[in-house]
Structure 1
């Protein structure tokens, strides 16, 4: 004999009920089947709502009642369009009884627990009758038996306790002589010894099925729901969650207690006592393997079996120096909550005995505070303890697994993963059995926490990075294309799943929590919402994705000002924008501090040398204990391009214009030609070497003509280049006469820095620097005579994008 239970979703529509019927028909070909059914999906809530409305003298209970009627009649007409009159007659009779009950509640405006049980029992009674009679009308050997005639309880209404001796005998006697191949039973409902209608409480239909399964001592109990078993975590919040093949009773109970909805812990007790396995199956996908719950402890290399959570939690904290060394505080606290019928979900106490923290349902928080403050009013008045502290909008997240106790470092990995994503832990609880590690966190971080922990413990060590890029012009477009091109390579070889979750230019911005489709990102962006810098920050923050990285591909001062906000939200920052790192030293220092404090990487390799590993090399030298004595560098690919192409046969204006057209200069070429850009770069290198310095401390020897240096607009500047051609030709002529090359050089030596145009003689490392290449020479204590030299392309969209990409990958490998 098989015992199957189908939940509310499984019987929530005629379509789903037809799936149930197909499953029952298939099973009954080989053996007898007992089928326990819940109320039609959502009906129990509607019955409770109607009762509350009637109690409150709200005439809207009539509308709720009509909805209940229409829902059931609709299902009957769809299941048995031509043969349903007898079913409708019975259902209408029951619905009339329901209406009379609601009218009575309305008249006396009272809804006792006893009446509530009578009210909600209509749901299962109606669904079981409809399904049973539909089976009969389709020619199957089926009958419907009222569970109230089998299951006997005490009179503890809304959560009655079962008299197993009487109940087991009733069930055994009935099914010993039952002739139908399929027997339909309503779940949840029972009757007291005195004949009053009772219910079995939350998860009551599962409980009914477990009671029947244990009484009949079947081989297994099957619970059919709308998911394919118990998942590693909530699949609605974590897309990579997957069904667990096998799980122990204890693991299942832990997961269910902490929010896994497919099973309610007390319901498994009858089958647990007899070691009857429970098989969780999917009504809408009967061929799926599902999850088998048994007393078998599956020894696998995966110590964590699942991650679960409970939302809408309040954390109560009782604290005070008067608690230390005084026995009885805990007893009084828990007795107070027990008297108020408030369930305690989580407990943690400091070894100092200075405080006790309790997790309860948020709905009970106000009642709990009033009761506890009243119970301890004397101690509060004497300042021995503080009034109870209540924190709301919290959630409990729990790691569960029988084998966690045999693996070191589980809690460390859990706390580290959450910490790196700025998820603050408010309380921690771990039992001595080590089957469960629970933490209390802010409700707003639940989705990020579940995804972070699932990635840590269940995914093939693939780290997901969520990138938000602002500035998708020349360099930004190249970066997006590089990410698109290398996505599969990164996932396969570096175990990095890189997704672009946000894009913005000066006009439009778009977000996609699951990652933007990069095959048509330009079209999506063109149709996006209106862009704003603050809006892009708020959008990134609101998504609250793990391992989020903001990428600044602009030269915008206002964008740089937002780095602080991103870092404070534990959102990493990758920037080619030099403004922040070259700003006031206190701001530079603040950003570095925030990066460490909030575990948010702040990388800016492309600030100096585009894609060249200049800053990374410098950081490695410093970290290894070396000390920089001086730096000599050509750091402007733009200026190097200009002076490599300028001669007595060209016009300075034409060369500068060409550099701008090819993307070597900023849109405003004065930033490059004034030396400000190079000054910022040597400033950044000096700071990364450990020197406190500001931009005004750097000596800048300009080569521009006076008119060019003082020009008000870009157009005016270009006009001065034409007018002052003789000035620039004189610079070239001087260098040529001395057999030298013109190079714009940055120097840092003995705590001082300078930038300016120099005539470089033949034989010098800078002399043959071609195109837009950069070169940096680090003189250190270890490299005192022969410097460490880094040389290569230092400008251009492709190499700058690759430098940004490298910083992103560096974060992924961290």
Structure 2
């Protein structure tokens, strides 16, 4: 006999019911079939919600009741020919009249007992099965409706179901010995208790119903049809890369379903395990696909870990105190209390010192458990031997599951390392002696990040997904997005990095797309975004709480730089070309470094000095390897180098500055470059990276600009004064030319003192032939005392700056 079960999503509409009937009719060609049906999709939820409304005195339940009655009557009219409708319409109306009477009683008494709730909940499956039975009759199929309440006997207390298999199996055998048909239609979920009162098998109990019949009838397998392709490596609604498993063992299925995998109701395995009856989980809408086969062995599963799952409706109870240490029987008393209260413990962990025990229970049972434990240990609490029980909420359990985990070393280490690298704090850990399950309690807000992190670690092709949030998408930001698009395939193929842009912002608008922004249309999409806000941008990044999140700042804004500490403190890495933060007061600079280390978030700013040149990285490597810096000499402003390489006293100085602005070499306010403040910040950053505690005010700035031009507040006013000071610029140029020297704006750090200013450089100096917008840095160290280590190359421009930011992003990806 074929045993099949179809869930509510498979029966959500008449068109879906017709699709289900095609699958059933195909199976009828093989053998007699027994089909278990759930209620129409969403009906049981509605029925229970109406009960709660009625109990609270809210008459709005009547409207929902009418809507549900109409839904069922409409289904009859669409599925069954008019000539066959009369009897089933009358039957369904009678059932709804009975349901209405129940609600009226609940409303009048303002009371909803468990017994009444079970009776109400059973109506959905009865109604769907009655209608579908008549539908098959209309198709001329020899079909019988089997009321499972007459056959399944159970005890249901506090949602804990115990089936009396002796009575149930006898009832089922007797029924099928006396009744013959090609198709038996069975309502799932419903049963009777030992007193003959309608009861249920718990939410998801239609799976259980099919398993009970399969076990009693010694079927070869049970086919459970749902709206997904089987049991997945993780919840696909949370982990987009999750995929269905072809084979898993009974034990693995039990662990996964117990820990939150919604595809299978946990008790389903009970009547099948000893008889080794296979369960085939299949997609109603792809019935020819294999789906997932649950059997004795998962030998075809080649991975050490079979699945990752979680429970988020739990609370932690902490019991601790010195009075627990070395006291025999303490745990026995604790768990006896919980047993007497009929409270199921989901997870247990105890410190080896015996000073504390931590247990996880269902949300709705936490207060009951707390009160019961405090009452049982009242004397110990009064004598300060143990503390009153503390409840910790907003937590969840995540679990790795797999039969093969016990034969592979280091899985726990990989699990906890992956979580730790994403700053996911673990509150409690439990691992059974079978080593089939490793469970950890984490904050509920971190569940999505944790599941995706672990799935990436254990299931995906060795690759890493980086989630970018970019503010500043003008010249540099725009070039960065172009480069990311251009290198997408290379990064995935060669470096195993998948980079997604989830948020972008300019000074006016910001845009977030959780699935990833389309980098082909980002400019148009951004214009349709919401009003930009630095605070809202941060809050959105924090709330998304994604693994490997990186905030990228392509601005020169001090307001945005002030947000770095919030990003880092929330384990969000920061990549920036904005020098403000690293050139701020030393205490703030140090605070960012400390936050980066404390929260495991990278803080990278290679482009602060030399755009795309590896200047800071080179210096860090020197310091890390034990070298010491004595002196740094550098031309660190690509814009100033461009200006003095192109100014020849024939064209006015201001024209050369305008050209530098036009080609993107200067800041939007060119005074920042020409005043030397930008170079001062850069040498300050290098000084700090070489181990010095220095402030910006400690740097001597010998500016070549007049005091008046330095005090201007607009670009127009600044350029007017550059025009007036043209004679001074000509004189500087002519003096250098007369000495056969070049003008270079030089930054120098020597013996703990730093200064910046315009210098005349002769042909013998490495700076003399520095062309265009190039930068150059000379490092004089213990190892490079005679001949300095030189880093030289393009030091300005949107392309090279973007490439430097890109390189920092890749550094994080390869971390």
Partner of 1:568: 569
Partner of 2:704: 703
Partner of 2:254: 253
Q: What is the CA distance between 1:641 and its match in structure 2? A: 0.4
The answer on whether the counterparts of 2:156 and 2:201 sit within 8 Å (CA) in structure 1 is: no
The answer on whether the counterparts of 2:337 and 2:373 sit within 8 Å (CA) in structure 1 is: yes
Partner of 1:24: 24
> What's the secondary structure of 1:206's corresponding residue?
helix
| Separation of aligned partners in 1, 2:194 and 2:387 | 48
Partner of 1:727: 728
Partner of 1:318: 319
Partner of 2:96: 95
Bigger mean CA offset, 543-552 vs 10-19:
10-19
For these two proteins, the number of residue pairs brought into alignment is: 814
| Separation of aligned partners in 2, 1:50 and 1:639 | 75
| Separation of aligned partners in 2, 1:699 and 1:301 | 65
The answer on whether the counterparts of 2:248 and 2:301 sit within 8 Å (CA) in structure 1 is: no
Q: What is the CA distance between 1:157 and its match in structure 2? A: 8.9
Partner of 2:45: 45
Q: What is the CA distance between 1:19 and its match in structure 2? A: 1.8
> What's the secondary structure of 1:397's corresponding residue?
strand
Partner of 1:781: 782
* 1:332-343 → structure 2 map (5 Å cutoff): 332-343=333-344
Partner of 1:537: 538
| Separation of aligned partners in 2, 1:632 and 1:691 | 16
Q: What is the CA distance between 1:812 and its match in structure 2? A: 0.7
Q: What is the CA distance between 1:713 and its match in structure 2? A: 3.0
Q: What is the CA distance between 1:807 and its match in structure 2? A: 0.5
| Separation of aligned partners in 2, 1:76 and 1:691 | 82
Partner of 1:760: 761
Once the two structures are superposed, residues 403-461 of structure 1 have per-residue CA deviations (whole angstroms, 9 ceiling, x without a partner) of 11222221222222222222211111111111111111111121111111111111101
Once the two structures are superposed, residues 765-793 of structure 1 have per-residue CA deviations (whole angstroms, 9 ceiling, x without a partner) of 11100000001111111111111111100
| TM-score where L is the length of structure 2 | 0.97
| Separation of aligned partners in 1, 2:50 and 2:292 | 36
Q: Flag the 1:57–1:758 CA change in 2: closer, same or farther, 3 A.
A: closer
The answer on whether the counterparts of 2:228 and 2:282 sit within 8 Å (CA) in structure 1 is: yes
* 1:10-159 → structure 2 map (5 Å cutoff): 10-80=10-80, 82=82, 83-153=84-154
Unaligned runs of 5+ in 1: none
The answer on whether the counterparts of 2:304 and 2:402 sit within 8 Å (CA) in structure 1 is: yes
* 1:542-691 → structure 2 map (5 Å cutoff): 542-691=543-692
Partner of 1:9: 9
| Separation of aligned partners in 1, 2:582 and 2:56 | 64
Q: What is the CA distance between 1:177 and its match in structure 2? A: 5.1
Once the two structures are superposed, residues 213-233 of structure 1 have per-residue CA deviations (whole angstroms, 9 ceiling, x without a partner) of 111111111111111100111
Once the two structures are superposed, residues 60-94 of structure 1 have per-residue CA deviations (whole angstroms, 9 ceiling, x without a partner) of 44334323322221221221252322211121222
Q: What is the CA distance between 1:190 and its match in structure 2? A: 2.3
| Separation of aligned partners in 1, 2:570 and 2:750 | 38
Bigger mean CA offset, 709-718 vs 543-552:
709-718
> What's the secondary structure of 2:786's corresponding residue?
coil
| Separation of aligned partners in 2, 1:338 and 1:209 | 30
The answer on whether the counterparts of 1:203 and 1:267 sit within 8 Å (CA) in structure 2 is: no
Bigger mean CA offset, 601-610 vs 307-316:
307-316
Partner of 2:750: 749
Partner of 1:438: 439
> What's the secondary structure of 2:163's corresponding residue?
coil
| Separation of aligned partners in 1, 2:370 and 2:361 | 11
Bigger mean CA offset, 454-463 vs 174-183:
174-183
Q: Flag the 1:56–1:696 CA change in 2: closer, same or farther, 3 A.
A: closer
Q: What is the CA distance between 1:192 and its match in structure 2? A: 4.0
Once the two structures are superposed, residues 104-131 of structure 1 have per-residue CA deviations (whole angstroms, 9 ceiling, x without a partner) of 4444454444433333222222111111
The answer on whether the counterparts of 1:422 and 1:598 sit within 8 Å (CA) in structure 2 is: yes
| TM-score where L is the length of structure 1 | 0.97
Bigger mean CA offset, 612-621 vs 330-339:
330-339
Once the two structures are superposed, residues 360-416 of structure 1 have per-residue CA deviations (whole angstroms, 9 ceiling, x without a partner) of 122222222222222222222211111111111211111111111222221222222
Bigger mean CA offset, 215-224 vs 149-158:
149-158
| Separation of aligned partners in 2, 1:213 and 1:463 | 44
> What's the secondary structure of 2:680's corresponding residue?
helix
The answer on whether the counterparts of 1:4 and 1:224 sit within 8 Å (CA) in structure 2 is: yes
> What's the secondary structure of 1:439's corresponding residue?
strand
| Separation of aligned partners in 1, 2:355 and 2:158 | 40
The answer on whether the counterparts of 1:664 and 1:795 sit within 8 Å (CA) in structure 2 is: yes
Q: Flag the 1:618–1:179 CA change in 2: closer, same or farther, 3 A.
A: same
Q: Flag the 1:436–1:634 CA change in 2: closer, same or farther, 3 A.
A: same
Q: What is the CA distance between 1:525 and its match in structure 2? A: 0.8
| Separation of aligned partners in 2, 1:804 and 1:557 | 18
Q: What is the CA distance between 1:757 and its match in structure 2? A: 0.9
| Separation of aligned partners in 1, 2:57 and 2:564 | 56
| Separation of aligned partners in 2, 1:370 and 1:193 | 32
The answer on whether the counterparts of 1:133 and 1:144 sit within 8 Å (CA) in structure 2 is: no
> What's the secondary structure of 1:426's corresponding residue?
strand
The answer on whether the counterparts of 1:190 and 1:200 sit within 8 Å (CA) in structure 2 is: yes
| Separation of aligned partners in 1, 2:140 and 2:448 | 48
The answer on whether the counterparts of 1:133 and 1:143 sit within 8 Å (CA) in structure 2 is: no
Q: What is the CA distance between 1:140 and its match in structure 2? A: 1.9
* 1:214-225 → structure 2 map (5 Å cutoff): 214-225=215-226
| Separation of aligned partners in 1, 2:255 and 2:156 | 29
